[in-house]
Amino acid sequence: MRARGLLITIDGPAGAGKSTIAKRLAASLGYLYLDTGAMYRSVALAAKRKGISFQDEEALARLAREMDLRLEPSGDGVRVLLEGEDVSEAIRTPEIDRLSSLVAQVPGVRAALSARQKELGQEGGVVAEGRDMGSFVFPEADLKFFLTATPEVRAKRRLAQLESKGLKADYEKILADIVERDKRDRERKIAPLVVPEGAIVIDTSDKTPQEVLELLLNHVKGKLHD
């Protein structure tokens, strides 16, 4: 057992339910929720605001290394502070969604953010959520989960999420974006989206968040009692 508890990773494609489950699992265990997607989104937002070209890999990597980014626990997960500003909502738009996928393909950005992530996770007591947590950042994790769902189910979830925030969205466009994002993530040269070795795969397509959470908690309890 690590100093602060288990190191748990949750990976999977966009819309599989990773964020919802990771937040709830971390809250149930009293662990830190490490939202790595928010880190890539923050780089994308900062680059957009500074007018940095998304083709300028050197500038993007420098931004990822040097920007003031903090993740703070909050009641419903994590508060994202970029240069002292709360950008928790600003990074959750379809545009930043798309741009963060481009940013995530830059090796220097992944290296900079992975180093920050490893620092946060090394003592345990962490639920790390992303696309390469169990395969690349924390291959030594105590428990690895991979959540998946059909593209259609994931698109419906994303549509509901956006509409709940009062944002206009089109199901067919979201579905096309998800299919394109999956392809980019799988074909990425650095840390592509794969099922990590030793991961427990859970299809969330026909399960409620509570059902998925209970499945994960059962595995965690088993690990804690090993």
pLDDT digits (tens, 9 = 90+) for 39-94: 999 999 999 999 999 999 999 999 999 999 998 888 767 899 999 999 999 999 88
Quote the pLDDT of residue 184.
86
Quote the pLDDT of residue 190.
79
Quote the pLDDT of residue 12.
95
Give the end-to-end CA distance of the chain in Å, rounded to a whole number: 10
Quote the pLDDT of residue 51.
98
SS3 content of the chain, % helix, strand, coil (to 5): 50, 20, 30
Q: Where does 7-206 sit in CATH, by number?
A: 3.40.50.300
The low-confidence residues of the chain, meaning pLDDT below 70, are 1-3, 76
Taking residue 25's Cβ as centre, other Cβ atoms within 10 Å add up to 21
Separation of alpha carbons 34 and 111, rounded Å: 17
Proportion of the chain above pLDDT 90, given as a percent: 76
Quote the pLDDT of residue 1.
59
